[in-house]
Amino acid sequence: MTLAPIAIVSAMHEELRALLPALGPARVARLGGREFHCGSVHGQAVVLVLSGIGKVAAATTAALLIHEFKARALVFTGVAGGLRRGVKVGDVVVAQQLLQHDMDASPLFPRFEVPLSGRSHFEADARLVDALAGAAQRCLDRADAIIGSDRRLAFGIDSAQLHQGLIVSGDQFVSSAAQSTALRTLLPDALAVEMEGAAVAQVCADFGARFAVIRTISDRADDSAHVDFKRFIEDVASAYTHAIIEDWLLHTPSF
């Protein structure tokens, strides 16, 4: 019997494009306007898919992966804006918990709480988090081999660090100092902000599925967040994601 696949989900085309060659010969299944690429990486069954951007796109993708493709674990990759002090462009964040920063049904429910679930924070799978953090650290240690020192220096990346903790998600590209300061004040533990992770977390909690979210910091969620965004994904984040996923699958044969 073939083992259920591990799902790797990207929000952006550039990242999926970087991961596809690792998959080898793949079958493509089309569902819900998405293309699910089913193959294997280092002997492990894998399904790769582009989710699209935002919480609804991510939630739809996660539900299809779990229900239709019987994915045994989901890993969401991509970029995020750094929020907490010390979370710099080029760093990598592995989420231990996720929260929707734009969820607000107050005064009916406490701010950030997902109505009727009784919770605002959703935990990622601890074993997956550990394994991905290990892979990310190994890749950061050889950043020059992965992205090249020219690119690293061009983006001002120096001694990139790995962080683990809270990632917050919302249907908003945070692109002003005022917005990011407001988020930091409301959610001082938040390391980074993106647009999909907490939606995946909520769907996975509903289905009891294992998941993790790993993000390369592309910007500081401030007034210059959009500058170089696409080029960063092409030149840095895609290469990191590819290297981290390959390293993780190689080092966790019994996953």
Query: Does 221 help bind ligand ADE (rule: CB under 6 A)?
Result: yes
> What is the gyration radius of the CA atoms in the chain, in angstroms?
17
In the complex, minimum distance from the CB of residue 175 to ligand ADE, in angstroms, rounded to a whole number: 6
Among 225, 236, 243, 245, binds ligand ADE (CB under 6 A): 225
- 173: phi > 0 → left, psi -120 to 50 → alpha, else beta; which? beta
Query: Cα(first)–Cα(last) distance of the chain, in Å?
Result: 16
Segment near ligand ADE (CB under 6 A); pick from 20-28, 74-82, 87-95, 200-208: 74-82
Query: Does 231 help bind ligand ADE (rule: CB under 6 A)?
Result: no
- 87: phi > 0 → left, psi -120 to 50 → alpha, else beta; which? beta
Query: Does 79 help bind ligand ADE (rule: CB under 6 A)?
Result: yes
- How far CA 241 is from CA of 18, 233, 238, in Å, comes to 8, 10, 5
Query: Does 255 help bind ligand ADE (rule: CB under 6 A)?
Result: no
Could you tell me if 222 and 180 are in contact, meaning their C-beta atoms sit under 8 angstroms apart?
A: yes
In the complex, minimum distance from the CB of residue 152 to ligand ADE, in angstroms, rounded to a whole number: 19
In the complex, minimum distance from the CB of residue 85 to ligand ADE, in angstroms, rounded to a whole number: 16
Among 173, 177, 231, 246, binds ligand ADE (CB under 6 A): 173
Query: Does 193 help bind ligand ADE (rule: CB under 6 A)?
Result: yes
Query: Does 81 help bind ligand ADE (rule: CB under 6 A)?
Result: yes
Catalytic residue IDs: 15, 219
> 194: which strand partners?
169
- How far CA 129 is from CA of 50, 136, 222, 231, 248, in Å, comes to 21, 10, 28, 27, 11
Among 219, 235, 238, 248, binds ligand ADE (CB under 6 A): 219
Residues within the interface to ligand ADE (CB under 6 A): 79-81, 173-175, 193-195, 218-219, 221, 225
